[in-house]
Amino acid sequence: MQKRSAKKGGKGSGGPKKDMGCSSGSVPKKARTTRKSPTKCGAEHEEEEEEMEIVNVFSHEMDSLECDICFLPFESRVYSCKNGHAACAACCINMERECPSCREPIGDFRCRATEKILAGMTRPCRFKKHGCTETVRYTEARAHEEDACRFAPYRCPFDGCAYRGLMLYDHIQDDHAAGGGVTSAMGLLRRMTVTLQKAAPFLALMHRDGESVFLLLNRGGDDLTGRRLSVICICPYPLEEDEEIETEYTMVVKGDVAASLSLTATVPFVRRLQGYKANAFIIVPKEFWDSSGTVTVTLQFS
């Protein structure tokens, strides 16, 4: 049935990544300077005040470690204009290398001091409350939380839907099943045949386990390049005793001509469709689609 992958501790495996830098896993705490020798009760009170102060310092400093333009945490490179306004690399490009605060050029000078501070910092994953126990480098936290964290919320793949959460399966059943583009035919045999519309960007295949959402993707545009068909799964990474489990699928596409196309590949597990690029797909040329603009796709999962 399912094959265990050798890449233990890889993407999304939840495997431990040793943190570097400061041992507190966050911004260095403020030095304690005003310790008196009060009564026991007073000492506890002072301790509380000190904790509050640390929280305030922490949130203030965290603000200054976010890009002024997109408000996302800085990654490894930080740029500044000659007046000291900081921006991330993506924003320098998006703003066409012009500082939005002072209109001076931005993108040529790096803020090495800030980069150095960031390089030594770690912090807990922000999905700690969902169960993630990883402490990640500050500059890698965004990548972890967006792509690798097993506890990050999923993004609904349906166009225009803003849902983000851990109950994607239920959300799609409740909010999108009636609108088409969803089929729950995937049963225990893990084999299914579906009809795919040429204009549909994907068909959601709801597994009867009540958790796994597979998407039969139908991407690409014009007749010259054809449509590119592939499969992904948006669901919790299948793990068994800390090892990833790979799922393979074979896809056979039949259409209006006396031929079929087939592909065998591994199902990628992703948390969101946005930005995903398939590296294995079938190209279905325009001749394949029948007069009503459909093809028949048979999928077998192993």
Instruction: Write out the residues near Zn ion by the rule CB under 5 A.
Output: 67, 69-70, 81, 83, 85, 88, 91, 99, 101-102, 104, 125, 127, 132, 134, 149, 156, 158, 161, 163
- Residue with smaller CB distance to Zn ion, 155 or 227: 155
The angle formed by the CA atoms of residues 180, 181 and 186, to the nearest 5 degrees, is 110
- Of 48 and 108, nearer to Zn ion (C-beta) is 108
> Residue 55 or 93: which CB sits closer to Zn ion?
93
What sign does the dihedral 75-81-86-91 (CA atoms) show?
Answer: negative
Q: Which residue number, 85 or 219, has a Cβ lying nearer to Zn ion?
A: 85
Mapped onto helix, strand or coil, the DSSP state of residue 111 is: coil
Give the shortest CB-194-to-Zn ion separation in angstroms. Answer: 20
Contact 117, 110 (CB under 8 A): no
Closest contact distance (angstroms) between CB of 201 and Zn ion is 13
* Residue 40: count of CB within 10 angstroms of its CB: 7
Tell me whether residue 70 or residue 259 sits nearer to Zn ion (CB atom).
70
Minimum CB distance to Zn ion, residue 12 (Å): 9
Cα atoms found within 13 Å of the Cα of residue 112, Cβ hemisphere only: 1
β-pairing, 182-186 with 202-207? Answer: parallel
CB of 100 to Zn ion, least distance (A): 8
Query: Distance between CA 150 and CA 275 in Å, rounded?
Result: 18
Cβ neighbors of 192 (< 8 A, separation 6 or more) are 183, 185, 186, 205, 298, 299
In the complex with Zn ion, which residue's Cβ is closer, 39 or 274? 274
Q: CB of 56: closest distance to Zn ion in angstroms?
A: 25
SS3 for 45? helix
Min. distance of Cβ 18 from Zn ion in angstroms? 15
Nearer to Zn ion, 27 or 67 (CB): 67
> In sequence order, what DSSP letters do the residues of 161-172 get, joined into one string?
---EES-HHHHH
Query: What's the min distance (Å) between Cβ of 302 and Zn ion?
Result: 29
Distance (Å, whole) CA 86 – CA 164:
30
Residue closer to Zn ion by CB (options 42, 180) is 180
Give me the sign of the Cα torsion angle 208, 210, 211, 215: positive
Q: How far apart are the first and last CA of the chain?
A: 5
**CB of 128: closest distance to Zn ion in angstroms?**
7
Please give the Cα distance from 256 to 164 (Å, whole number). Answer: 39
